[in-house]
Amino acid sequence: MARYSIVLLGKRYFVTIQKKEGYSILSTEWIENLLEKIRDHVESRKYRVTEHAISRQKLRSLKLPDIMEVLRNGFHEKEKTLFNNKFQTWNYAIRGKAVDGEDVRVILAFEKDMIIITAIRLPRKNKK
């Protein structure tokens, strides 16, 4: 585990990063207003969907309105946010409800625009 000081937009943040199978795990959130940034990209249509995400949407019975619903109303799953060492970018996990009410996780990154990497339907929890 390593602790780093990061300067972002003139502010200093301290993060702890832990390595795991080609990824680094972010254990202290350092992007302010992540959800606001995501919603701004959605509303201004400054996003693109990868071919991988499109193929996974088809396999998982998800449509773009489902993903947009999650991005507009979901929450940041910090424990699922990872740094992709291969692409040198953070992959953010946003969790929320699809249009049909099912739990979905959307993985995205930022370059110039927001990139939707994949979307996953999450298993239902059995109520006891």
Q: Which of 73, 93, 74, 75 is nearest to 25 (CA)?
A: 93
3-state DSSP of 7-25: EECCEEEEEEEEEECCEEE
pTM above 0.85, yes or no: no
Structure confidence by residue, pLDDT tens digits, 42-69: 999 999 999 999 999 999 999 999 999 9
73-104 core/surface letters (b: 16 or more CB in 10 A; e: else): ebebeeebbbbeeeeeebbbbbbbebeeeebb
Q: Would you list the domain boundaries of the chain?
A: 31-121
- pLDDT for residue 12 is more than 60: no
- What confidence category does residue 102 fall into, taking pLDDT thresholds of 50, 70 and 90? very high
Tell whether domain 31-121 is in CATH 3.40.190.10. Answer: no
